[in-house]
């Protein structure tokens, strides 16, 4: 198997364009598993882990996180999203966090990808580039199914971008143990006080990352009353109602990690706790 | 000051440096000139006839040097001589998904792996039997034609004392059903073997095994070459826990491939294959009836067990008996009946895992004891103390008890946690639970009948004062090399670091039966002590003579041989050794150990259960149950263990903590479960062994009873400490939420179900668990249809990926991809 170590993004886009058997490899924490299980046999690899351009985080105005940024980096350098930090902290183990990248998570598009509910709730934009030029895709349109998205084979994800949303945000995940665990259900909640916007996104609860629209409007209503900028706790009833609305947005199934009934229940609990936690942040 | 200079001191483990720095040489680290790499083809069917195997295309594949199949080694084998029902590779039937059918040696592992897909196996699928209930009933489908009734492998019925009278005189009766789910060892090192057949016709096999001696015998039988030409070397094991104590397909395949090619051959299992090799904890359904007086005194107990054995015998006979044998050694039981049944199913064979066969019934029994305490309003700690089986006694089933420290263990964990003050007084969601248990310090009988010692050791002293101990024990990380060095050093008056340990080598060391049943410290320790003491006598007598001191006053410690009345009067160990060699010739001595006779009953089946000494233990667990998410957090586990005497306290504590960790894993989520015969989670990502973030705070307390027959008073510490942890956690969960979990593992989903919160219609339950043997599903052919579907789906995936039109199951089974819409990655 030929491996091309790309110097920069242009080099990488050319390399994938000329060889149609080529696949990108960043941290390899998804791809190598697939290769080892014999599920994928790329004809050639284009390694992008040395591309500096993909490894930056910038916060001038919009937040921009390069696709090659690892979870360890996201924990060390503040990308201005507490939820993304929490999600990064929950990924795998230190070894996986040292290697795995946010770009790989976006490309794999697993419904259990931990960065993805956060990007959805932040209403991030995915920036992709190929020899044909650059495209910007709202996260809501990115995933088309479990492990499916609209990326063309020769397109490289270069970054994820979003408007900074302030401190009121959190990520929660339930798994069957506390580390090295794929989410049984996960949830990101972002309250963007300055834009009067609530984002709720669910992981591992359906074929793609799901948004809970009714729960979002309900929470916005609660915050209208409480005051968006204040640090005031919503009532328990309001939290429970929010939890129920979040759970009703899920489309879970039974699998080896958990039952559909458990997923729904635990989502409602997580959502209620998330709202109570986020409302008092400031 | 202690009477010992080495025993009981907190010294580092002898081989710890190599382990800590990554320089320890495991089997897979071995690389020999011209070495080939082998892989095994495994069955994608849970049950099928093998009509034919065509290896010609694989043999032509670039890099492939040799291919072997079951027909090359048709001799029956298995760990227990009386129930050998396996062959090295499947001959005409496969009985579980993952059973090995062929082996390929090639110049690279990749070439061997690729060539697997070129072997054409013509399978005729048969209906698989997947549950205990089906196995008991289905006469029409036989996994082994030899089974007399349906798929029953072994059935035992034992009765002691007057059961009817016992139950009739009881004031209070309990009748509970339990189910303990199967789980596996998950040792971090996967099995690996390197075989080298040399020009002189001698075969050397380096392998991660717990039982080099038994393997030696099976290699002779299967390969058809005399044992004189075979040498087995047990490499350091990266954990084993019972999972490396059978003879395995890969060991025979590597050996035969090396014999065929006259080149060394390495065969290392990948993680998925380890789940198929298995031999782990049996799933066991149990019914336990107990009768007690008003004060809780037992009048009778009746235990029935149904073991799901998987496809082959393994240690199954012993496991079946062990589910009943040790129930009597903790608390007084005047009448006891035990009925055990082990069935065959089309799943990877179950075998011994730490606590072998005793862990499941101990959990059930300790839950029943807790229920009795609760029914009668007794403190569960005080109650256990009240019904203790006394030391130096006989149980109703004829087992000899000597030292017995369960009372001290209960007291110790009670003191450390304030158990009796806290129990039943915590807020809802918080709980504390207790349990006791016991284990053996080695089985009283060997696996094949013989009158020879169970363990032998040779100790030799060289002219520079160096000491070497030779013993056939296998170091599996439990510290057996440390034990050999400690006993030798203490007896001779040197330090463990002066002792070279040569273990696990059938050519260099005398036979020790192996690292199973926690027998090594007691048996190999005694053999080593006998050998070392012979040399010690020689050293003391020459030194006494030279110093003109009566020999009774002489002693040896810390590299000196001296007058105990006047310690300044003495000589160095080297001087004494040189004098002794001049007097007696080469300084070498042998010792052996055979357990005493008369330590068990004399009925049929009395062979399992006796041991020269029982170890005892108690644990207290503190838990938190999240009432909304159902998540169980075990905050703390305190275990006290009676190991007779702690020869190496640090090592004993390590075993106690490791056991608590493992027990916690078993009750909190580890499970070896299947869908239509396919393992649901054959990877360490999905098979949830706890991580450091999950692990409770663990505390180990050593209780010493100084056993008169043990080496320096020592008993076992490797397995027993696991047993009380599981019921202590189950009992703590009851204390927290008032629900009895008569089923393992305790998952969040089940907790919510119990709390009536799993769905909107839920009602709270007071127990989760079976209420009898389930009706076998009336869906003949259903299992086969389900399996056929998944097998097909898997093959389509394989051919999609590899582009190779595969023969059935060519690359062996893999985990199922997440179905569309699933939450899987
Ligand atoms: C033991 C283990 C535990 C894990 N635990 C978690 C967890 O808790 N949570 C979680 O979300 N994930 C987890 N994962 C999955 C994985 O670590 C993450 O999805 C990670 O983000 C993948 O990033 P990577 O750089 O390693 O991707 P790679 O494996 O290098 O690539 C994955 C895929 O993305 C493509 N790709 C990579 N970068 C780009 C790019 N810039 N543009 C276009 N395509 C690209 C590759 O071609 C490949 O198809 C775990 C994996 C393992 C092995």
ipTM summary value: 0.90
What would the mean pLDDT of A156-160 be, rounded to a whole number?
98
Specify the pairing of strand B298-308 against strand B336-343. parallel
Quick one: closest CA in B to A267, which residue? Answer: B629
Nearest to A179 among B628, B693, B758 (CB): B693
CB contact under 8 A, B752 and A262: yes
Question: Is residue A55 in some structural domain?
Answer: no
Q: Is A66 in the pocket of ligand 1 (CB under 6 A)?
A: no
Q: What is the pLDDT of residue B418?
A: 98
User: Cβ distance B725 to B621 under 8 Å?
Assistant: yes
What would the mean pLDDT of B686-702 be, rounded to a whole number?
96
Question: Is residue A198 in some structural domain?
Answer: yes
The count of structural domains within chain A is 1
CB contact under 8 A, B631 and A179: no
Give the contacts of B12 (CB within 8 A, at least 6 positions apart): B650
Question: Is residue A272 in some structural domain?
Answer: yes
Residue B50 phi/psi, 5° resolution? -95, 110
Question: Is residue A242 in some structural domain?
Answer: yes
Evaluate if residue B758 carries a pLDDT over 80. no
Quick one: closest CA in B to A183, which residue? Answer: B823
Give the DSSP H or E segment for B702. strand B697-703
Which tokens is B331 given? 């608390």
Residues in B touching A251 (Cβ below 8 Å): 821
Distance, in Å, from the CA atom of B345 to the CA atom of B354, rounded to the nearest integer, reads 22
Which tokens is B233 given? 């070397």
Closest atom of ligand 1 to A23 CA is 47
3-state SS, residue B673: coil
How many angstroms separate the CA of residue A19 from the nearest CA in chain B? 19
Q: Is A44 in the pocket of ligand 1 (CB under 6 A)?
A: no
Question: Is residue A252 in some structural domain?
Answer: yes
Quick one: closest CA in B to A208, which residue? Answer: B821
- The model's pLDDT over B599-641, given as tens digits with 9 standing for 90+, comes to 999 999 999 999 999 999 999 999 999 999 999 999 999 999 9
Quick one: CA dihedral B591, B597, B599, B600, positive or negative? positive
Give the contacts of B748 (CB within 8 A, at least 6 positions apart): A174, A176, A262, A266, B626, B629, B630, B631, B632
Chain-wide mean pLDDT for chain B? 94
CB contact under 8 A, A174 and B629: yes
Residues in A touching B811 (Cβ below 8 Å): 38
What would the mean pLDDT of B173-183 be, rounded to a whole number?
98
- Asked if the C-beta of B757 comes within 8 angstroms of chain A's C-beta atoms, the answer is yes
Q: What is the pLDDT of residue B352?
A: 98
Domain CATH number, residue A201: 3.30.390.50
Cis-peptide, bond into residue B745, ω within 30° of zero: yes
3-state secondary structure B221-233: HHHCCCHHHEEEE
- CA distances to A39, B51, B531 from B801, rounded to whole Å, are 5, 27, 60
- The model's pLDDT over B781-814, given as tens digits with 9 standing for 90+, comes to 665 655 554 554 544 444 444 433 333 333 333 3
Nearest to A184 among B691, B801, B823 (CB): B823
**Direct distance between the N- and C-terminal alpha carbons of chain A, in angstroms, rounded to an integer:** 51
Q: What is the pLDDT of residue B16?
A: 86
E strand segments, B28-77: 36-42, 48-54, 64-69
Across B137-151, B216-230, B803-817, least confident range: B803-817
Q: What is the pLDDT of residue A282?
A: 85
Token look-up 């994820």 returns A160
- The model's pLDDT over A214-252, given as tens digits with 9 standing for 90+, comes to 999 999 999 999 999 999 999 999 999 999 999 999 999
Question: Is residue A32 in some structural domain?
Answer: no
A–B interface: beta-carbon pairs under 8 A = 118
3-state SS, residue A237: helix
Quick one: closest CA in B to A206, which residue? Answer: B821
User: Cβ distance B417 to B433 under 8 Å?
Assistant: no
| Helix extents (H) in B634-747 | 649-668, 725-737
Q: Is A100 in the pocket of ligand 1 (CB under 6 A)?
A: yes
pTM of the model as a whole? 0.94
Question: Is residue A257 in some structural domain?
Answer: yes
Which of B686, B823, B824, B825 best tests the A interface by mutation, with the highest count of A CBs <10 A? B823
CA B798 – ligand 1 centroid, Å: 22
> Could you say which residues from 646 to 705 on chain B have a Cβ atom under 8 Å away from some Cβ of chain A?
668-669, 680-681, 684-686, 688, 690-694
CA A30 – ligand 1 centroid, Å: 4
Quick one: CA dihedral B678, B683, B686, B688, positive or negative? positive
Q: What is the pLDDT of residue A255?
A: 85
Q: Which of A23, A37, A43, A92 to mutate to test the pocket of ligand 1 (most atoms within 8 A of CB)?
A: A92
Which of A261, A270, A275 best tests the B interface by mutation, with the highest count of B CBs <10 A? A261
How many angstroms separate the CA of residue A218 from the nearest CA in chain B? 22
Residue in A73, A151, A166 with CA at minimum distance from that of residue A106? A151
CA A34 – ligand 1 centroid, Å: 11
Question: Is residue A54 in some structural domain?
Answer: no
Domain that holds residue A222: 169-279
- Minimum CA distance residue for ligand 1 atom 21: A105
Residues in B touching A203 (Cβ below 8 Å): 823
Closest atom of ligand 1 to B685 CA is 1
Specify the pairing of strand B152-160 against strand B336-343. antiparallel
Task: Work out the angle between the directed axes of helices B748-755 and B725-737 (0-180°, nearest 10).
Answer: 30
Structural domains of chain B ordered from first start: 152-183+280-393+404-431+614-761 (3.30.365.10), 453-593 (3.30.365.10)
Residue B648 confidence class, pLDDT cut points 50, 70, 90? very high
């Amino acid at each position: 198997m030929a491996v091309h170590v790309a110097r920069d993004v242009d080099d990488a886009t050319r390399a994938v364009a000329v060889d149609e058997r080529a696949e990108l490899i960043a941290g390899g924490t998804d791809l190598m598993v697939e290769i080892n299980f014999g599920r994928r046999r790329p004809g050639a690899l284009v390694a992008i882990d040395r591309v500096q351009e993909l490894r930056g985080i910038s916060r001038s105005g919009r937040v921009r996180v390069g696709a090659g940024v690892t979870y360890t980096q996201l924990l060390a350098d503040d990308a201005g999203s507490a939820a993304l930090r929490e999600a990064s902290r929950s990924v795998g183990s230190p070894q996986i966090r040292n290697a795995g990248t946010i770009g790989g998570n976006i490309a794999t598009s697993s419904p259990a990808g931990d960065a993805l509910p956060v990007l959805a709730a932040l209403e991030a934009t995915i920036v992709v580039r190929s020899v044909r030029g650059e495209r910007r895709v709202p996260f809501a349109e990115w995933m088309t199914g479990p492990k499916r998205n609209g990326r063309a084979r020769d397109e490289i994800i270069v970054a994820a971008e979003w408007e900074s949303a302030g401190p009121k945000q959190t990520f929660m995940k339930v798994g069957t143990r506390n580390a090295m665990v794929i989410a049984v259900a996960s949830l990101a909640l972002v309250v963007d006080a300055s834009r009067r916007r609530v984002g709720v996104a669910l992981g591992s609860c359906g074929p793609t990352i799901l948004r809970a629209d009714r729960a979002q409007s309900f929470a916005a209503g609660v915050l209208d009353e409480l005051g968006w900028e204040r640090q005031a706790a919503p009532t328990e009833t309001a939290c429970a109602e929010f939890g129920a609305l979040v759970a009703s947005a899920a489309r879970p199934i039974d699998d080896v990690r958990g039952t559909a009934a458990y997923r729904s229940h635990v989502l409602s609990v997580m959502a209620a706790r998330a709202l109570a936690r986020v409302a008092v942040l400031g | 000051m202690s009477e010992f200079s080495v025993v009981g001191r907190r010294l580092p483990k002898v081989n710890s440096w190599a382990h800590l720095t990554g320089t320890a040489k495991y089997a897979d680290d071995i690389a020999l000139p011209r070495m080939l790499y082998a892989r095994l083809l495994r069955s994608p069917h849970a049950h099928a006839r093998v009509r034919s195997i065509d290896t010609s295309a694989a043999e032509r594949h670039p890099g492939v040097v040799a291919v072997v199949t079951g027909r090359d080694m048709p001799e029956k084998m298995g760990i227990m001589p009386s129930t050998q029902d396996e062959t090295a590779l499947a001959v005409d039937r496969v009985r579980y998904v993952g059973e090995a059918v062929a082996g390929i040696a090639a110049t690279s592992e990749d070439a061997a792996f690729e060539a697997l897909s070129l072997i054409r196996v013509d399978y005729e699928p048969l209906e698989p039997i997947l549950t205990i209930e089906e196995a008991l009933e289905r006469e029409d489908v036989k996994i082994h034609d030899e089974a007399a009734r349906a798929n029953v492998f072994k059935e035992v019925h034992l009765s002691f004392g007057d059961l009817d009278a016992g139950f009739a005189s009881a004031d209070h009766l309990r009748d509970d059903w339990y189910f303990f789910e199967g789980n596996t060892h998950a040792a971090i090192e996967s099995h690996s073997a390197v075989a080298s057949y040399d020009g002189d016709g001698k075969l050397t096999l380096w392998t991660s095994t717990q039982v080099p001696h038994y393997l030696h015998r099976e290699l002779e039988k299967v390969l058809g070459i005399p044992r004189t030409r075979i040498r087995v070397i047990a490499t350091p094991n990266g954990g084993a826990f019972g999972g490396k104590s059978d003879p395995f397909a890969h060991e025979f395949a590597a050996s035969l491939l090396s014999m065929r090619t006259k080149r060394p051959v390495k065969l290392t299992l990948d993680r998925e294959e380890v789940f198929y090799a298995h031999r782990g904890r049996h799933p066991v359904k149990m019914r336990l009836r107990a009768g007690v007086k008003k004060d809780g005194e037992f009048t009778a107990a009746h235990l029935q067990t149904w073991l799901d054995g998987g496809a082959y015998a393994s240690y199954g006979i012993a496991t079946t008996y062990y589910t009943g044998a040790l129930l009597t050694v903790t608390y007084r039981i005047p009448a006891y009946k035990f009925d055990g049944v082990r069935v065959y199913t089309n799943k990877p064979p179950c075998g011994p895992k730490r606590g072998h066969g005793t862990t499941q019934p101990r959990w059930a029994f300790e839950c029943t004891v807790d229920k009795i305490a609760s029914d009668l309003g007794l403190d569960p700690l005080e109650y256990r103390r009240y019904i203790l089986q006394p030391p130096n006694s006989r149980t109703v089933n004829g087992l000899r008890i000597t030292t017995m420290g369960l009372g001290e263990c209960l007291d110790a964990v009670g003191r450390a946690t304030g158990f009796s003050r806290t129990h039943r007084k915590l807020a809802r969601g918080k709980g504390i639970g207790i349990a006791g248990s016991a284990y053996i310090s080695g089985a009283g009988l060997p696996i094949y009948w013989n009158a020879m010692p169970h363990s032998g050791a040779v100790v030799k002293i060289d002219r520079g004062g160096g000491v070497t101990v030779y013993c056939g024990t296998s170091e599996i990380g439990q510290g057996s090399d440390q034990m050999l060095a400690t006993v030798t050093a203490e007896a001779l008056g040197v330090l463990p670091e002066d002792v070279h340990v040569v273990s696990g080598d059938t050519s260099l060391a005398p036979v020790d039966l192996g690292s199973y049943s926690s027998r090594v410290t007691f048996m190999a320790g005694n053999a080593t002590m006998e050998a070392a003491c012979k040399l010690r006598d020689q050293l003391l007598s020459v030194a006494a003579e030279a110093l003109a001191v009566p020999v009774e006053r002489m002693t040896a410690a810390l590299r000196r041989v001296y007058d105990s009345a006047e310690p300044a009067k003495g000589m160095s160990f080297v001087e004494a050794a040189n004098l002794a060699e001049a007097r007696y010739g080469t300084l070498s001595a042998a010792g052996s150990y055979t357990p005493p006779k008369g330590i068990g009953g004399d009925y049929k089946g009395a062979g399992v259960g006796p041991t020269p000494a029982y170890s005892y233990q108690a644990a207290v667990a503190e838990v938190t149950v999240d009432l909304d998410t159902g998540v169980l957090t075990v905050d703390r586990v305190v275990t006290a263990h009676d190991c007779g005497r702690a020869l190496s306290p640090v090592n004993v504590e390590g075993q106690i903590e490791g056991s608590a960790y493992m027990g916690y894993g078993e009750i909190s989520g580890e499970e070896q479960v299947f869908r239509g015969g396919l393992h649901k989670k054959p990877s360490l990502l999905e098979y949830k062994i706890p991580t450091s973030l999950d692990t409770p705070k663990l505390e180990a307390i050593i209780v010493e009873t100084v056993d008169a027959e043990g080496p320096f008073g020592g008993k076992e510490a490797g397995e027993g400490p696991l047993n009380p942890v599981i019921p202590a956690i189950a009992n703590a969960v009851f204390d927290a939420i008032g629900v009895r979990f008569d089923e393992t593992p305790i998952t969040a989903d089940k907790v919510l179900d119990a709390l009536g919160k799993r769905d909107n219609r839920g009602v709270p339950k007071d127990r989760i668990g079976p209420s009898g043997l389930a009706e076998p599903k009336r869906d003949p052919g259903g299992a086969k249809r389900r399996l056929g579907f998944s097998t097909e789906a898997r093959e389509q995936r394989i051919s999609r990926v590899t582009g190779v039109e595969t023969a059935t199951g060519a690359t062996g089974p893999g985990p199922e991809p997440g179905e569309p819409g699933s939450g899987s990655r």
